[in-house]
Chain A
Amino acid sequence: EPEVTQTPSHQVTQMGQEVILRCVPISNHLYFYWYRQILGQKVEFLVSFYNNEISEKSEIFDDQFSVERPDGSNFTLKIRSTKLEDSAMYFCASREGGGNNSPLHFGNGTRLTVT
């Protein structure tokens, strides 16, 4: 069964550094998402992406964050200058269509640790 893949599984970075988290959504999916989960807290929505542009973003997704679909397969999340509070598990997800009848498929996540 096709799956969403994320790399790396664990990234350690120093505060102030830039990080890029990578995701390969399922190939025929059109909607892409990033979520994060700070340890012990809720899974939080960051951003959704459709038709090569951001369709929705949360308050968390400030100017330090950006997303890109640089080619036909990858979907990346960039954090320009990481802060300690960016430490979290970041999940990429994709879905084939819009609406609630098209389920979200999640990757296994990238654990980001900012020191």
Chain B
Amino acid sequence: GDSVTQMEGPVTLSEEAFLTINCTYTATGYPSLFWYVQYPGEGLQLLLKATKADDKGSNKGFEATYRKETTSFHLEKGSVQVSDSAVYFCALSDREAGTALIFGKGTTLSVSS
């Protein structure tokens, strides 16, 4: 079945460092891909998405490119801030209405000043 694999955390970085969180997926169809973020004490929020191959999703300085050839959707940010400390979830959705998201395990990012 469909699945998402994320790099294991936690990821610990200093402010202004470059961030990459790897995500690969397995899907039978042509999924849409998502990154969700969960700040401490809050629910999951959509960070960015891409719905077809070669699309780049971006938001708040984060980017991820849908790579069909490598079945990947790695999250990147050029310069992290302390406020980016959160848990990041990669997810896919492979069907239409009523679609359920399939999530990865989540990667905890901790940024220190």
A6–B64 Cα distance when bound, in Å, is 30
14 contacts between A and B (CB under 8 A): A6-B43, A31-B97, A31-B98, A35-B103, A42-B104, A43-B103, A50-B98, A55-B98, A58-B100, A93-B44, A97-B97, A100-B49, A100-B51, A107-B43
A100 contacts B93, C-beta separation under 8 Å:
yes
By the criterion CB–CB under 8 Å, are B100 and A48 in contact? yes
Please pick, from B46, B89, B98, B104, the residue contacting A103 in the complex, using a CB distance under 8 A: B46
Question: A3–B99 Cα gap in the complex (Å)?
Answer: 20
In the complex, A77→B106 CA distance in Å? 24
Assembled-state Cα–Cα distance A50/B97 (Å): 10
Q: How many residues belonging to A are interface residues under a CB distance threshold of 8 Å? A: 31
Query: Footprint of A on B, CB under 8 Å?
Result: 4, 32, 36, 41-46, 49, 51, 89, 91, 93, 96-106
Chain A to chain B: the 8 pairs with minimum beta-carbon distance, closest first? A98-B97, A43-B103, A106-B43, A106-B44, A100-B32, A55-B98, A45-B100, A108-B43
Closest Cβ–Cβ distance, residue A56 to chain B (whole Å)? 5
Chain A residues within CB distance 8 Å of chain B? 3-4, 6, 31, 33, 35, 37, 40-45, 48, 50, 55-56, 58, 91, 93, 97-101, 103-104, 106-109
Contacts of A44 in B (CB 8 A): 103
CB of B98 within 8 A of CB of A104, answer no
The answer to whether A108 and B42 have CB atoms under 8 Å apart is yes
In the bound complex, do residue A42 and residue B105 qualify as a contact, i.e. CB atoms below 8 Å apart?
A: yes
Compute how far the CA of A31 lies from the CA of B49 in the bound complex, rounded to whole angstroms.
19
What's the Cα separation between A44 and B102 when bound, in Å? Answer: 7
User: Nearest-CB distance from A15 to chain B (Å)?
Assistant: 26
What B residues does A45 contact at CB under 8 A?
100-102
Chain B residues near A4: list those with CB within 8 A.
Answer: 43
Measured in the bound complex, the distance between the Cα atoms of B54 and A81 in whole Å is 47
